[in-house]
A = this chain, B = another copy of it.
């Protein structure tokens, strides 16, 4: 089968053997999405080699122990745990110490004709959700995960920094899931407009004047992927406010620890979310993900698709096997 592979420092679309179920499920991929994490892996970070991709929608071909899933349209949570540790026993393998992660850690990913995941990771996609929207379940779940990590009070003032895909999903998810007043801060009128049409306040970065804020923010979500976002966040947070880090920029980041201590700020990392809340938001059409689609490539042109996804300002690039 065809797969988008990263190995020996090289990215290529290649013919490889299709995976065997071996006690897990096999899913024929309908669409997959390119994430910034894919780009970082293809720059050599994270030491991964194999098939890239962790955002997908597909149809189940085999599912040992869960035959009712065969033929169903599904999305899949990306962390596969050991199944035995305390965390896995509690039903949440996201921090299992020996987990594999689809297309990220020790497990071939979704930019392929067929992928393999434990059946327990799969969730059926309601008919109301098109393939083009369902493929956003994983990144939308990651956005929803913020509300799982941080208690966002009704009426709280929340700022999301960055109007890329991640910021647009975080702002919409928080507006839909919480009673907070959410403001998206970005540089691009067209992108800000996507969130504005879903009830999110927006402000251009060059018009954000910390000194003129009516009052500072209770929660700021850093979704710019740039270390400067960290400084900006500290500048607009109230004392004892919460800074949510979503971007996994790699390598050392400089920050002024004394500002965190003196302001008694909480800096909270947030990574993967559960899929169920994201599917509910998609089913109820509470978030606009269609507008986040930049373009679609055939899987065979995956290398070009990755290059396109790396261009500044490009939104989601999809791959179709």
**A266 touches which of B230, B258, B267 (Cβ 8 Å):** B267
Residue contact B247 to A261, C-beta cutoff 8 Å: yes
Across-interface contacts of A248 in B (CB, < 8 A): 257-258, 261-262
Q: Which residue of B lies closest to A230 (CB)?
A: B257
The A186-234 residues at the B interface (CB cut-off 8 A) are 227, 230
Query: What's the minimum C-beta distance from A10 to chain B, rounded to whole angstroms?
Result: 23
A83-108 interface bits toward B, Cβ cutoff 8 Å, 1 = contact, 0 = none: 00001000000110000000000000
Query: What's the minimum C-beta distance from A83 to chain B, rounded to whole angstroms?
Result: 17
Bound CA–CA A166/B94 (angstroms): 35
- The answer to whether A261 and B245 touch (CB under 8 A), given A253-B254, A256-B251, A267-B266, is yes
A162-198 interface bits toward B, Cβ cutoff 8 Å, 1 = contact, 0 = none: 0000000000000000000000000000000000000
Q: Which residue of B lies closest to A215 (CB)?
A: B86
The 5 closest A-B pairs by CB, nearest first: A95-B239, A260-B269, A267-B267, A261-B269, A253-B257
The A contact surface, by secondary structure, is mixed
| Interface flag for A67 (CB, 8 Å) | no
A237-273 interface bits toward B, Cβ cutoff 8 Å, 1 = contact, 0 = none: 0111000011111111111111011111111111100
| Interface flag for A149 (CB, 8 Å) | yes
Bound CA–CA A95/B268 (angstroms): 21
Bound CA–CA A256/B87 (angstroms): 25
Bound CA–CA A319/B270 (angstroms): 47
A-B contact pairs, 18 of them (CB 8 A): A87-B239, A95-B240, A149-B266, A227-B257, A246-B261, A247-B257, A247-B261, A248-B261, A249-B257, A249-B258, A251-B258, A252-B255, A252-B256, A253-B256, A253-B257, A266-B269, A267-B267, A267-B268
User: Which interface residue of A251, A258, A265 has the most chain B CB atoms within 10 A?
Assistant: A258
- The answer to whether A257 and B245 touch (CB under 8 A), given A95-B264, A263-B269, A264-B270, is yes
Other than the known A95-B264, A247-B257, A261-B270, what 6 A-B pairs have Cβ atoms closer than 8 Å? Answer: A95-B239, A248-B257, A254-B254, A260-B267, A264-B270, A266-B268
Bound CA–CA A244/B149 (angstroms): 17
Query: What's the minimum C-beta distance from A38 to chain B, rounded to whole angstroms?
Result: 15
Bound CA–CA A268/B263 (angstroms): 10
The A256-301 residues at the B interface (CB cut-off 8 A) are 256-258, 260-271
Bound CA–CA A290/B239 (angstroms): 33
Across-interface contacts of A252 in B (CB, < 8 A): 254-256
Residue contact A253 to B251, C-beta cutoff 8 Å: no
Across-interface contacts of A258 in B (CB, < 8 A): 248-251
Q: Which residue of B lies closest to A258 (CB)?
A: B248
